């Protein structure tokens, strides 16, 4: 079994241990973000706040268990993301729209635009989406929960 198959099976097992029924699971690759995704559809609708917490906790467990099952050292990073009930795909879409909006403001007004503090994974998505946008540069500033992105116009 490869890391994606192990991650998918592990995800199903974790959610079933938590008392959920996994209705459907699949694996895909998000080309724009160069990200492997395990999609899980559960039998219950959950609030976005619960989905976010559940996704982060399950993703950490899945990565750790997959690393162990592959016999890799614990400091090795398995790059797989979980999408529970479509939450991740909605998040990516919302962050992409926000990135375009803020980049548009930077281009229109010619001034740096500071985004609100975001978790590392959210910042990574925004940096990745804007990395090939002509005339735009992104950089993260700050520490811990105050870390945020500043979008600036590239100088020629």
Across the range 17-43, mean pLDDT stands at 92
Report whether pLDDT(120) > 80.
yes
Report whether pLDDT(93) > 90.
yes
Across the range 78-86, mean pLDDT stands at 90
How far apart, in whole angstroms, are the C-alpha atoms of residue 41 and residue 87? 10
| Spatial CA neighbour of 95 closest among 117, 116, 120, 123 | 123
The strand order across the sheet containing 80-84 reads: 22-30, 35-42, 80-84
Neighbours of 30 (CB within 10 A): 16
Residues 6+ apart with CB under 8 A from 45: 85
How far apart, in whole angstroms, are the C-alpha atoms of residue 55 and residue 88? 9
Q: List 117's β-bridge partners, or say none.
A: none
Name the DSSP letter for residue 154: P
Q: Domain spanning 95-153: which CATH class is it, in words?
A: alpha beta
How far apart, in whole angstroms, are the C-alpha atoms of residue 127 and residue 98? 12
Across the range 79-99, mean pLDDT stands at 94
How far apart, in whole angstroms, are the C-alpha atoms of residue 107 and residue 128? 18
pLDDT in the model for residue 156? 64
Across the range 81-99, mean pLDDT stands at 95
Q: Give residue limits of the domains in the chain.
A: 3-85, 95-153
Across the range 5-14, mean pLDDT stands at 93
Architecture of domain 3-85: 2-Layer Sandwich (3.30)
Stated as kind and residue range, the H or E segment containing 6 is helix 3-17
For the four alpha carbons of 141, 144, 29 and 94, in that order, the dihedral sign comes to negative
């Amino acid at each position: 079994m490869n890391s994606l198959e192990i991650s998918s099976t592990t995800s199903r097992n974790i959610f079933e241990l938590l008392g959920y029924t996994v209705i459907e699971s699949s694996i895909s690759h998000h080309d724009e973000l160069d990200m492997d995704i395990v999609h899980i559809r559960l039998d219950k609708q959950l609030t976005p706040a619960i989905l976010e917490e559940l996704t982060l906790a399950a993703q950490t467990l899945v990565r750790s268990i997959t690393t162990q099952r592959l016999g890799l050292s614990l400091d090795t990073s398995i790059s797989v993301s979980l999408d529970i009930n479509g939450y991740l795909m909605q998040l990516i879409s919302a962050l992409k729209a926000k990135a375009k909006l803020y980049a548009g403001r930077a281009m229109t007004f010619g001034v740096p635009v500071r985004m609100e503090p975001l978790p590392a994974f959210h910042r990574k998505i925004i940096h990745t989406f804007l990395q090939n946008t002509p005339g735009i540069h992104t950089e993260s500033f700050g520490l811990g929960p105050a870390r945020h992105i500043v979008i600036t116009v590239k100088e020629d």
